[in-house]
Amino acid sequence: MTMQRRDFLKMVGAGAGVGAATALTGCATQQAAGGGRKVVVIGGGYGGTIAAKYIRMMDKSIEVTLIERNDHYISCPFSNLYLGGILPDLSKLTIKYDKLAANHGIKVVQAEVTGVNAAERTVTTSKGVFNYDRLVVAPGVDFRTEEIKGYTAQTPEVAPHAWKAGPQTILLRKQLEAMKPGGTVVLSIPLAPFRCPPGPYERTSMIAMYLKQHKPGSKLIVLDANPDIVSKKGLFLKGWKKHYDGIIDYRPAKKVTEVSADGKSVLIEGIDEVKGDVINLIPPQRAGAIAVSAGLVGPDKNWCPVNPTTFESTIHKNIHVIGDACIAGAMPKSGYSANSEAKACANNIVNLMNGRAIVDFSGINTCYSFLSAKEAVEVTGVYLVDKEKNVIIAAPGSVGVSPDLSETEAIYAESWLNNILTEMSS
Amino acid sequence: MKQRWSGLALAVGAMTVSAAALAAPPTAEMLSNACAGCHGTHGGSAGPSMPSLASQSKTAIIEAMKKFKSGERPSTVMGRLAKGYSDADFEKMGDFFSKQKFHPTSQAVDPAKVKHGAELQEANCSRCHLDDGKEGKDDTPVMASQWLPYLNIQMQLYQSGARKMPEKMAEKVKPLSKQDLEALLHFYASVK
């Protein structure tokens, strides 16, 4: 081939993005000529807000509608600090959408999405039907509660998961406060992959800190379905030994398969019973319900396979899936990953809608965890696409964790929160 | 000509080439937007311990990234992250952030310290830190409106020897007292 790859791509335009140039080049031309310029984003969390914002920043001629069921969003990152008593409430973790909407001309609709029709390119909601040329699905996670015997709609009210920040987090905190000293807390961790790989271990640290300070003589039993600590293992073990020796009873390879109706007892593999005064039961996870009902999950029935460059679903054309719900190769299911994926997805949606060449993915993850009131640790990585395998991999040398527990990292972590929430809300 | 191209596009459509294999290398925008989760949209920081990258000189960004990568400049996450990028990537990031608008911040500063700091800036620092630290030139960073906690962290790293001061800077800083340095940082933080 004699011509330059990039020039060549300019001609191919949108088609190359989904491996079906013949069908879509015409469509892209139509869009560029002022035909369809509508993007709908489902979900106003770490991914959805950023996708909506960056599409508008990159191309004001594209109309963007953000559909979210709540009028606010509460960050999961840092919500463990509320459980630990470092944060007095969730106000610092709460964002609204008014500034984002006004600053960027995003139409924010508070509605429940009830269906997606990929063939018709429509999203049906409690407030009407929305047409799209491209759809971004950023629903986060939902729970595979059917894998836990006895789990009903009432279970989260007695054995909270608190894995979506908000009322569940507040309930868990209240249960901890109400527990008598010398009590037992049980934390159940599902098999990976789940939202926020170090999250359960940060939660272990924060609950242990709360018990140490407010409930003398209490224990925290951690039932981890995984064979070992999933993330930042050495640092968590070091922190637990330093601060919470005798409080945390960590038990690997203990998969909870059943819960009692009163939420005070769980069974491991259907046999061994573990009782607790407070049970924080985090069920196994899959992509948010709307991704499942829209037929976006892959053969594993849990997560959404996507093109790693455009984040376009490999199942349905013109639908992009970002954040926890998608399969993003080596990238962890974290808030920062969702932020990074959203920007790359936005960038390439704008390229596709303008008939321009798509651009290689480049993303970052930076994820902090607190071990005590003043000490935090982090994991980082730079991510790109392995062109031969067509999958997101880590850039060599970029992935690693803090060398030690660090007060400096805790200071940086707070600024991380300030910046990432400001990005999402303004 | 046009006909010929579209014919080729059709031919390519028939091939099963992955999008990644055909995508263009990451642009300055693709690389730099990923930094904004910590450094703020377009490099305007809202986090008191993170520096604004907006309007920094291209050279300052490139030099900082190279020093993070080699370990010459101490860091927490930056040393590792820098290892994920090439010199060509640093060029693109430098280009991107140098083109972003200066990011003014509103923060609490001590007026007396600001006044004293302004005099010290004029007498000692103004030949490199141009326009009250608002202009970045060569590898001199933009100091104006950086958050006070960030400036303090960096000054502590300089004082401890963990971060190496440029010789010209070391000469000027050496005679200054702790109070003088604090005043200078308050001054830079106050400039909008």
- pLDDT tens digits for B72-122? 999 999 999 999 999 999 999 999 999 999 999 999 999 999 999 999 999
Return the structure tokens found at A66. Answer: 């953000």
**In 10 A of CB B173, how many CB atoms?**
18
Confidence check: pLDDT of B10 > 60: no
> Distance (Å) from the C-alpha of residue B55 to the closest C-alpha of chain A?
18
> Distance (Å) from the C-alpha of residue A417 to the closest C-alpha of chain B?
8
Angle at B12 between CA B11 and CA B16, to 5 degrees: 120
Q: Which chain B residues contact residue A309 at CB under 8 A?
A: 19-20, 23
Give dist(CA A318, CA A22) in Å, integer: 15
Q: What confidence tier does B20 reach under pLDDT thresholds 50, 70, 90? A: confident
- The one-letter code for the residue type at B33 is N
pLDDT at B14: 40
Instruction: Say which residues have a Cβ less than 8 Å from residue A68's Cβ, sequence separation at least 6.
Output: A43, A44, A48, A97, A108, A109, A110, A111
> Distance (Å) from the C-alpha of residue A235 to the closest C-alpha of chain B?
15
Residue A320 near residue A351, CB atoms below 8 Å: no
Q: What confidence tier does A326 reach under pLDDT thresholds 50, 70, 90? A: very high
Chain B contact for A156 (CB, 8 A cutoff): no
CB contact under 8 A, A340 and B34: yes
Which carries the bigger pLDDT value, residue A10 or residue A40?
A40
**In 10 A of CB A137, how many CB atoms?**
32
**In 10 A of CB B131, how many CB atoms?**
12
Q: Which chain A residues contact residue B5 at CB under 8 A?
A: 11
Q: What confidence tier does B12 reach under pLDDT thresholds 50, 70, 90? A: very low
Looking at chain B, the whole-number percentage of residues with pLDDT higher than 90 is 87
Confidence check: pLDDT of A108 > 60: yes
Q: Which chain A residues contact residue B80 at CB under 8 A?
A: 380-381, 397-400
Q: State in Å, rounded, how far the first CA of chain A is from the last one.
A: 46
Give dist(CA A37, CA A32) in Å, integer: 8
Confidence check: pLDDT of A16 > 90: no
Nearest CA among A115, A96, A114 for reference residue A106: A96
Q: Which chain B residues contact residue A384 at CB under 8 A?
A: 26, 84
Give dist(CA B42, CA B77) in Å, integer: 19
CB contact under 8 A, B30 and A400: no
Confidence check: pLDDT of B18 > 70: no
> Distance (Å) from the C-alpha of residue B139 to the closest C-alpha of chain A?
24
Q: Which chain A residues contact residue B38 at CB under 8 A?
A: 366, 415-416, 419-420
Give dist(CA A223, CA A267) in Å, integer: 10
Which carries the bigger pLDDT value, residue A12 or residue A386?
A386
The complex scores an ipTM of 0.90
**Average pLDDT over chain B, rounded to an integer:** 91
Return the structure tokens found at B151. Answer: 């400036």
HEC profile of chain B: CHHHHHHHHHHHHHCCCCHHHHCECCCHHHHHHCCHHHHCHHHCCCCCCCCCCCCCCHHHHHHHHHHHHHCCCCCCCHHHHHCCCCHHHHHHHHHHHHCCCCCCCCCCCCHHHHHHHHHHHHHHHCCCCHHHHCECECCECCCCCCCHHHHHHHHHHHHHCCCCCCHHHHHHHCCCCHHHHHHHHHHHHHCC
B70 to chain A: nearest residue by CA? A397
What is the average per-residue pLDDT within A261-283?
A: 98
pLDDT at A215: 98
Residue A178 near residue A213, CB atoms below 8 Å: no
- The one-letter code for the residue type at A9 is L
Instruction: Say which residues have a Cβ less than 8 Å from residue B98's Cβ, sequence separation at least 6.
Output: B55, B56, B57, B58, B61, B136
Confidence check: pLDDT of A67 > 80: yes
B21 to chain A: nearest residue by CA? A387
pLDDT at A36: 72
Q: Which of residues 9-68 of A touch B (CB under 8 A)?
A: 9, 11-13, 15-23, 25, 53-54, 58
Q: Which chain B residues contact residue A6 at CB under 8 A?
A: 24
pLDDT at A407: 97
Confidence check: pLDDT of A8 > 60: no
Judge if A5-142+286-358 and A151-283 fold alike in CATH terms: yes
Give dist(CA A104, CA A312) in Å, integer: 24
Chain B contact for A160 (CB, 8 A cutoff): no
Give dist(CA A103, CA A101) in Å, integer: 6
CB contact under 8 A, A358 and B83: no
Return the structure tokens found at A378. Answer: 């982090």
- Outline where A266-334 has alpha helix (H): 289-293
Residue B92 near residue B178, CB atoms below 8 Å: no
CATH of domain A151-283: 3.50.50.60
Q: What confidence tier does A406 reach under pLDDT thresholds 50, 70, 90? A: very high
Q: Which of B4, B30, B45, B92 to mutate to test the interface with A (most CBs of A within 10 A)?
A: B30
Which residue in the set A9, A22, A426 is minimally distant from B22, CB to CB?
Answer: A9
Looking at chain A, the whole-number percentage of residues with pLDDT higher than 70 is 92
CB contact under 8 A, B76 and A23: no
Task: Identify the burial level of A299 via C-beta atoms within 10 angstroms of its C-beta, where 0-12 means exposed, 13-18 middle and 19 or more buried.
Answer: exposed
Strand order of the sheet with strand A107-110?
A107-110, A63-68, A38-42, A134-137, A319-321
- The CA dihedral of B107, B111, B114, B118, to the nearest 10 degrees, is 130
Does the domain at A5-142+286-358 match CATH 3.50.50.60? Answer given as yes
**What are the tens digits of pLDDT across the range A337-382?**
999 999 999 999 999 999 999 999 999 999 999 999 999 999 999 9
Q: Which chain A residues contact residue B20 at CB under 8 A?
A: 307-309, 360-361, 385-387, 390
- Outline where A162-257 has alpha helix (H): 167-178, 199-214, 233-244
Least confident of A33-42, A127-136, A140-149: A33-42
Q: State in Å, rounded, how far the first CA of chain B is from the last one.
A: 53
pLDDT at A30: 37
**Average pLDDT over chain A, rounded to an integer:** 93
Sketch the domain layout of chain A as residue ranges. 5-142+286-358, 151-283
Domains, chain B, ordered by start: 26-98 (1.10.760.10), 111-190 (1.10.760.10)
What is the average per-residue pLDDT within A213-217?
A: 98
pLDDT at A355: 94
